[in-house]
A and B are shown apart, each in its own frame.
Chain A
């Protein structure tokens, strides 16, 4: 027994010593410089986000294949009609990456005439209006099978597709729409597809005009979807050899590793500069960072916590480049919560809570600069004309005194434990408000996603600030999937007990180029999780789609920045990129999360 016992503590000491040595070894590795990795100028390796693997290449996707990286990859092979991105520093039409050369709206705004670029398919045939019509026909006859379809929107809102000639066509809409909405959120869904190769319903069948009637179009899409389900044939299937973009598939594994090679027949102006691009999947960020540390990735990412070890990656020959997302981050209030709903419905409560969020310090210190403060429903970086002054200037700056005063001015007083309690119930100007009973304490629960040190620290900081005001915040950290399920519980017949939820460690909501909030803040939409209901906001959200008022987005931005449908939070970057110093990515990283590998080059 003595031997066993002695072994026990000897083993403990040995384990501790081993752990210390490992740590020391790891730390020592920080100084390893060098410039290993791919230096072949015809190749580049890129790390895909952890846990994601590209699994679809056809320009039209079923709903479960709508991942951003799928879209980013297929755009390199089939050029979309309109591409909007932020590579130029602002979210704008990227003409080089688009099949459309120009557009012209009719005087009454109900139709748009589009002219195509001089693009050819890789088999030498030109990209024509018929190829756009092919997409439209497949979409309109198969709308429910297509991911991203929203009833009433594209293609339902197109009443007539008219081919003027090979390079010109006109789309007529069912009503007048906001032109930014049409261009950035609707026409960007369209891809010219090679009708002369794909318009068939079986292998070996002659290509015809099957797409022009409903039954034929359905057969064609079923056939294309079936072919696209087999990832192992992406590099060999003749269907996928006819491309219009700068790249074509060289290899695509079931595990999600994709190798693209330059399309030698590409005739556009966005020609590939590096011949071979490899997209690597990773199961976790840690696994990816290990490969970065080995120098075997040319373009990867690190977690923002690693920004404190920036020098390590710079010594390895990388430059650090945070990739900002076209997104907003927020915590919805549950206005339907049986107990706390009436409290959150009071604007002064939301204002007071917002005053207690020190977004600048959280962004700078906790996210180490890899997040930017956000004060409203429009993404703030890069700045756009949609952004109102009210949102830009932060209507509720960090001010704990102002926060506490809002409570005390409305009948709340700190109890012996320092927690604010409603003492003056009622609906008067100096009272707590409708539905709040005397004795109601400001005990709030935030359900947040776990697994992120930055998020944990951010919640600890918010809890600390709120405690100074007199609000007792409980943090309930659970896995992201559970948070998202919880957030929907009121709408799915669940217990609806959540109060605030946070699912924004990588940004809460990513927008199309035109950032309308119809899917987030409109009354009956799924992701208005907290059931925010403001008729004025509802009208503005509708107007964002239909109004021709150039300032409509600004009005929407101003109202929601002030009305606080959610608690606005710092918006983390899409990822903190590490890029080999010799690799020029040809502009800014796209906030819309597209890659544009054709613009990368080795210096």
Chain B
């Protein structure tokens, strides 16, 4: 005899509505308020620097000594003028273009070099890894600012040169990070499988190792951009940046610093705040992206 008790039919639990992957990603990113703040600040700065000159037109090529050192509001200059007569608000815009372009391009360049270097070192391993990473160690031991100052002394500073130089001294950290990822990924089944099927090493690296490290790479890239913007500011502050009439926020700071005791705050604070805000914005975005790519973050 069987004593079978009929169990009541289970009521199906209401299934959560499956959101599209894009929306989920956006939701995860926007749940980090600092990241949203960073993104908004960055977008505002991009608009200010790249679209601002279309609406607030000033001559940032020719000096105008008859309008030098005006206070904010004088003769129509909202943020005054500097010591050779450039409108400070207009100059903040074009300086921002230089800082952001160099920062972005150098950050991307550093990330690309570092990613490939680290991926190859980690994937190949052995003596190749040792040699490649000792090069990285040696590079990290040399202060980037010192190298940049030497190069700026030898060569005439320009935007392309600064992108190249900053990119070439900043790839060391991403190389280390991606190498660590690469060592972990190279023993995964899908990497082993492609090798078993006759796939080449370069295919394994470009199609599997690097794409699967993209979280680490993107997060680090945002920090690279922020660091590059700071490096540009350092070099320019030391007088080795782009030459006039070009400028960047660091160069504006160094021009204004002599007037600190004269109360010319408009020559120092706006450029300083721009550097701080953009760097903080990139860091916040990086923080948000890290949460986004972090598995633990996804489970929250």
Q: B224 → chain A, closest Cβ, in Å?
A: 12
Is B141 interfacial (CB 8 A cutoff)? no
B66-85 interface (Cβ within 8 A of A): 66, 68-69, 83-84
Say whether A457 contacts B84, CB under 8 Å.
yes
* Pair B261/A460 contact, Cβ less than 8 Å: no
Picked from A5, A474, A477, the residue with its CB within 8 Å of the CB of B286 is: A5
> Which A451-508 residues have a C-beta within 8 angstroms of B?
451, 453, 456-457, 459-461, 463-464, 467-468, 474-479
B153 within 8 A of A: yes
Cβ contacts under 8 Å, A365 to chain B: 65, 68-69, 83-84
Taking the nearest CB of chain A, how far is it from the CB of B300, in angstroms?
11
Number of interface residues of B (CB under 8 A): 42
CA distance A504 to B60 in the complex (A): 27
CA distance A16 to B262 in the complex (A): 21
Q: Which residues of chain B from 15 to 46 have a CB within 8 Å of any chain A CB?
A: 34
CA distance A315 to B264 in the complex (A): 18
- Give the distance in Å from the alpha carbon of A226 to the alpha carbon of B80 in the complex: 60
Which residues of chain B are within 8 angstroms of A467 by Cβ–Cβ distance?
A: 61-62
Closest Cβ of chain B to A364, distance in Å, is 8
Interface residues of A in 41-87 (CB under 8 A from B): none
Nearest chain A residue, comparing its CB with the CB of B216: A1
A16 pairs with B258, CB closer than 8 A: no
A:3-56 near B, CB below 8 Å: 5-6, 8-9, 12-13, 16, 19-20, 23, 26-27, 29-30
Residue of B226, B244, B261 with most chain A CB atoms under a 10 A cut-off? B261
A27 to B264 Cα, complex, angstroms: 10
Measured CB to CB, the closest approach of chain A to B94, in angstroms, equals 14
- Beta-carbon contact of B283 and A9 below 8 Å: yes
CA distance A27 to B244 in the complex (A): 27
A308 close to B (CB within 8 Å): yes
Chain A residues numbered 262-298 whose CB sits less than 8 Å from any CB in chain B: none
**Is B156 an interface position by the 8 A CB rule?**
yes
Say if the beta carbon of A312 comes within 8 Å of chain B: yes
Chain B interface main SS type:
helix
Asked if A460 and B63 sit within 8 Å, CB to CB, the answer is: yes
- For A, the interface residue count at a CB cutoff of 8 angstroms equals 45
| Most-contacted residue by chain A among B63, B255, B284, B291 (CB, 10 A) | B63
A292 to chain B, nearest CB (A): 12
Specify the chain A residue showing the minimal Cβ separation from B281: A9
Known contacts A358-B65, A467-B61, A23 near B268 by CB under 8 Å: yes
Asked if A366 and B244 sit within 8 Å, CB to CB, the answer is no
Q: Mark B240-267, 1 if CB is under 8 A from A, else 0.
A: 1001110000000011001111111100
Listed A/B pairs (14) with beta-carbon separation below 8 Å: A2-B291, A9-B287, A12-B283, A16-B276, A23-B272, A27-B260, A29-B261, A305-B258, A312-B262, A365-B68, A366-B68, A451-B239, A464-B62, A477-B239
B interface, CB within 8 angstroms of A:
34, 61-63, 65-66, 68-69, 83-84, 153, 156, 223, 226, 239-240, 243-245, 254-255, 258-265, 268-269, 272, 276, 279-280, 283-284, 286-287, 290-291, 294
Given A19-B272, A460-B245: 17 more A-B contacts, CB < 8 Å? A2-B290, A6-B287, A9-B287, A20-B269, A27-B261, A30-B263, A305-B259, A308-B69, A309-B262, A312-B261, A361-B65, A365-B84, A453-B83, A453-B258, A457-B244, A460-B63, A474-B156
